[in-house]
Structures are given as C-alpha cells and as structure tokens.
Amino acid sequence: MSAAASQGLTQASGIPARAVAAWLQQMRIGAGFTGVDVLVIDEPTMVDDRATAALMTEAARTARRSSTSATLSSSRPSRPAAGSRTHRLVGGLALRENRRQEDAAERHALEVWRTGDQALHLLADRGRVHPAESADEVRSLILTAWDELRRDGWRDTYDPLDELVVLAARNGDVDALNAGAQQIRRAAGELGTEYTYALPGGDRLTLATGDTVRVGAMTTAAGAGTC
C-alpha cells in the first residue's frame, strides 16, 4: 500500500492506516503493536501469507500485555485464499456497507462483482478500464493519462504527489514508467541538467534538475528523519 493509499483508507474508515511493510518494520525495531487496541488487516488476500502470519503472531504476543486484538477485513470473501478459509472457519461477519468508494459507478460495479457477474464490463463502459495488447501499450496509456491529469491546474507544484497516484506491479514497470515520465517532462522543457547517483547494491539513479522526488521516513544508526 502506498502512502497515498494509506491516507485514503484513513479518511474513508476513520482508522489510522499504515502499510504492511511499515508495521513489519515497527515490529523489527521492537515497538510492535504497543498502544494498538484493534489491528485491522485490510484485504488480507492481497497480503503475503508470511506477512499476515507475522502480523497475527505479533498481535497475539502483544495481546498478553496490552489487549491487542486482530481483525481481517476483506471485500473478497469468496476468493480462494487463507483469509477466505479463515472467514468460513470462524463464521466471520460480512461487510454490508461500502464506505470507501464514493463514486456511484464504482459502488455499483463492486455490488455486481460480489454476485459473480461481469463488473469489469460496467467499469469499462464508464471509461474506468482501458485494455491494451501489450505491456508497452499499457504503460503508454498510463503515461498519457498521467500527463493529461497533471496539467489540470494544480494549485501547487507538489499537489500531484498527493493527488495523482500511478501504481505498478513490478519494479521493472516502475522504472519504465519513471523513465517515460521523465521523457515527457524533458520534451516539455521542464527538466534541466541530469545527475547520476550510486545506489546500494550497485544500482544507479539518474535525476534531473526539476524532477520531483518523494522520500519517505528513513531510519539510520544516527537516528530517524523525514525528507
């Protein structure tokens, strides 16, 4: 889950949300779930089973000290996964009220999805799904939409970082999308001199004057800071 997705979930649910990776890191440094009364794992079928097991184990350990309880929350109870099996075994409750999707078309599509019908067709008819013949074509469609949306008169240069999210399944796709976005901005005259930086593991990162980069919280031996 990205930082923007965590923020959106927090706003929709009213529960402070963090990415699974962030919780796992908190567990590694020893903080665990101290102070957490209820841990809600959203869409556990999309979380690696090892990560889910680690979260549940830590919740059980913390429960002995501070009464932490864990809840699995999913809109996909029928999918074959550990979460759905657990739901059947314990006779879990069903979520009936959709609070996350604010758009009426998305709400309707999800209702249809739960019945097993072709929800993708409904979304496609409303311009929400854009099929393509190849991965390169998909990336081109994504970058075209990104370029159009980012020019929609943002009040601040950094607003698109919070309001416009591009997601990818693999690191290779992330690199290709970043490179494509740089090419678009360079062609528009928005970027200046390029600089290449060495990264841990032997990788290299090339940035240009004018590039916008999001850096999250980093913990080092000297302490923690946010850039």
Distances (CA, A) of 1 to 26, 60, 119, 200, 211: 16, 23, 23, 23, 23
CB burial class (10 A; 0-12, 13-18, 19+) of residue 98? middle
pTM score of the predicted model: 0.49
pLDDT 10s digits, 141-192: 999 988 988 887 777 777 877 778 888 888 889 889 999 999 999 999 999 9
Q: Which long-range contacts (CB under 8 A, 24 or more apart) does 128-132 make?
A: none
Write out pLDDT tens, residues 8-64: 666 666 777 888 888 888 888 877 787 777 888 877 777 888 888 888 888 887 776
C-alpha span between 157 and 141 (Å, rounded): 23
